[in-house]
Amino acid sequence: MIGSVVLVAIIASSLAYGIGLNKNVKAWENKVYPGVNVYGVEIGGLTKEEAIKSLNEKLSVNIMDKTLAVTAGEQKFDLKYSDLNLSYDVEAIATDAVKYGKDGSNFSKNTKIKKSKDHNIEGEISYDEGKLKEFEDTVKSTVDVEPKDAKISTNSGNIVIIPEVVGNKIDGEDLHNKLVENINKNLSNKVELTFELKESKARLTKDDLSQIDSKLSSYSNSYRMTGDGRVRNMEIAAQTVSGIVLMPGDEFSYNDLIGDTTPDKGYEKANTYVGNKIVPDYGGGICQVSTTLYRAVMKANIRSTERRNHSLMVGYSEAGLDATVAYGFVDYKFKNTYDFPIYIEGAVGGGTVGFSIYGNKSKFGEKTYELVNEILETYKPGNEYVDDPTLEIGKEVIQSYGMTGYKASSYQVTYENGTEVNREIVATDVYGTTKSVVKRGTKKPVNTTPPANVATPTPVPTPVPTPTPVPTPVPAPKVAQ
């Protein structure tokens, strides 16, 4: 009997608990469970409508105060949510909040109600991608530093070296991905993101250039003020070459450096050789720059890997000692074969173009070098005759003189203490001729012979002359010497 009473009591108690549990769960059916918040806004115990109202009042304030703290290298940045033009669906967030915890058993639901734990509903936040990109660009433009080579120059004969700049760069893709990942994360707390910068070294360092301590060679020649664009072209080309540093093993290409001599680069028209003809074209004059550089480089005992002579002689160089260039066809190249860097400095002005080569004097040594030539053959120009109706037959006038051609060899001569110790052939070149243009007369002479007499006149007797006395001789006048 007692057992039955106990059993009934237990059943009654269980029924009462079940009824109470169901009643409690039912009471929260349309409410947000306790402990639920949305980005720091507590909405537990609220209906959907009440949650929407509360979120509209408080959510924007909570979110707009948030920042993403970014550290990149030694620089710090704050991405303010208020700058991102954020937008979010409050109704969808409230709906998700009400649904939270409602998919389990009544016992599970009641447990969440009775023993509430903090739970954050993270609704999807939309943002202005353009504003995010602006922030990313600000970070990159601030921390990204392009590496800069050390620079070398001369001042009153002294070598001046400006140290290199080490480059730094942030991984832009990693920056973007982590910002996007964290915009909707932990908005109730401050998020701190740290990015390492990738270091990039300069190609030329101060230590490299510190090996350059002396002038190894120099060469200059003169030019005429022709009145066309020749001098300007020479200035542009020399300025482009000046300042070049070649590390050991580096090859110099005149064409790669100068490029095409187009007017957009400032080049003007001046005389150039096209075959065996003189034709005005953009860049005329830059071959005098390449020739001058060639002579200076050879004086530093650096041999050419590519070099050709002009088709005709040029006024600024002896036969065999020039270096012509034609973009896309003929180049002047040489390689730094030393174990130290070399620095090229050039200038044009005052009727002179010149280049100097700098390097390490102790490694270069005390020997000096000179490029010399030897004429092997001389080719005299022929004549080209042009008929001229203004000149009488038999008369000739030279309109333009032809150019003499040559076959010449060049030699690299080595001197030690002023004495020649070696002579090595460098090249054998041939220069063509151009004909002299001679105007030849085709005009017939005017006939000045008097007409013949129709009748033969009767001869008149010639009188016998009276003897003339012999005059006394008079001395010739003296001409000043």
CA gap 474, 463 in Å, rounded: 31
Q: What is the pLDDT of residue 478?
A: 28
> Is the pLDDT reported for residue 283 higher than 90?
yes
Mean pLDDT of the chain: 87
Cite the DSSP H helix spans in 370-445. Answer: none
In the structure, what pLDDT confidence band is assigned to residue 471 with cuts at 50, 70 and 90?
very low
Q: Phi and psi of 264, rounded to 5°?
A: -65, -15
Helices 286-299 and 230-241, packing angle to 10 deg: 40
pLDDT (mean) for 349-357: 96
Question: Average pLDDT, stretch 50-69?
Answer: 82
Mean pLDDT in residue range 49-72: 84
Relative orientation angle of helices 90-99 and 48-64, to the nearest 10 degrees? 120
Q: Out of 100-109, 249-258, 313-322, which region has the weakest mean confidence (pLDDT)?
A: 100-109
pLDDT for the residue numbered 40 = 77
Type and span of the H or E element at 22: helix 2-27
Residue 71 has pLDDT above 90, yes or no: yes
> Does the structure show a pLDDT above 80 at 108?
no
* Residue 477 pLDDT grade (very low, low, confident, very high; cuts 50, 70, 90): very low
* Residue 313: CB atoms within 10 Å: 20
Residue 276 to residues 14, 290, 326, 402, Cα–Cα distance (Å): 118, 20, 14, 11
AA letter at 410: S
What's the confidence (pLDDT) of residue 35?
Answer: 82
Question: How far apart, in Å, are the Cα atoms of 362 and each of 21, 174, 211, 339, 367?
Answer: 98, 50, 10, 12, 11
User: Checking DSSP bridges between strand 151-155 and strand 245-246, what pairing results, if any?
Assistant: unpaired
Higher per-residue pLDDT: 440 or 93: 440
Q: Which residue has the tokens 């007017």?
A: 263
Domain ranges (residues) in the chain: 49-93+122-204, 211-442
DSSP 247-297: -TT-EEEHHHHH----GGGT--EEEEEETTEEEEEETTTHHHHHHHHHHHH
Per-residue pLDDT at 451? 59
- pTM beyond 0.75: no
For residues 324 and 469, the model is more confident at 324
Measure CA 394 to chain center: 63
Query: In this structure, are residues 79 and 67 in contact, taking their beta carbons and an 8 Å threshold?
Result: yes
Q: Which of 58-67, 198-207, 321-330, 458-467 has the lowest mean pLDDT?
A: 458-467
pLDDT of residue 467: 45
pLDDT in tens, 396-414: 999 989 999 999 999 999 9
Contact 325, 331 (CB under 8 A): yes
Amino acid at 42: E
Distance CA 284, CA 49 (A): 84
| pLDDT in the model for residue 349 | 94
What pLDDT, on the 0 to 100 scale, is given for residue 189? 64
Question: Rounded to an integer, what distance in angstroms lies between the CA atom of residue 245 and that of residue 345?
Answer: 9
For residue 30, the model assigns a pLDDT of: 80
pLDDT for the residue numbered 14 = 53
Q: Which tokens hold the place of 429?
A: 């070149």
- The better pLDDT of the pair 323, 6 is held by 323
pLDDT at residue 237 greater than cutoff 80: yes
Architecture of the structural domain at 49-93+122-204 = Roll (3.10)
The arithmetic mean of pLDDT across residues 120-125, rounded, is 77
In 3-state terms, what secondary structure has residue 69? strand
Lowest-pLDDT range, 128-137, 187-196, 349-358?
187-196
pLDDT of 34 strictly over 90: no
The single residue listed with the structure tokens 């300042």 is: 243
More confident residue, 258 or 185: 258
Span 321-336, average pLDDT = 97
Helix (H) or strand (E) holding 438: strand 436-443
Tell me the torsion sign for CA atoms 307, 312, 318, 324: negative
For residue 237, CA distances in Å to 118, 169, 221, 266, 343 come to: 74, 34, 15, 10, 16
d(CA 279, CA 262): 16
The dihedral through the CA atoms of 421, 423, 424, 427 has a sign that is positive
Contact between 219 and 354 (Cβ < 8 Å): yes
CA distance 282 to 260: 9
CA distance 466 to 371: 84
Q: What is the pLDDT of residues 440-469, one digit of tens each?
A: 989 988 776 665 555 555 554 544 444 444
- Mean pLDDT confidence for 31-57: 84
Closest to 202 in 3D by CA, of 236, 165, 256, 169 = 165
Tokens representing 66 are 């948030």
The C-alpha atoms of residue 363 and residue 229 are separated, in whole angstroms, by 41
SS3 state at 193: strand
Q: In terms of pLDDT, which residue wins out, 317 or 104?
A: 317
Q: How confident is the model over 39-63, as a mean pLDDT?
A: 82
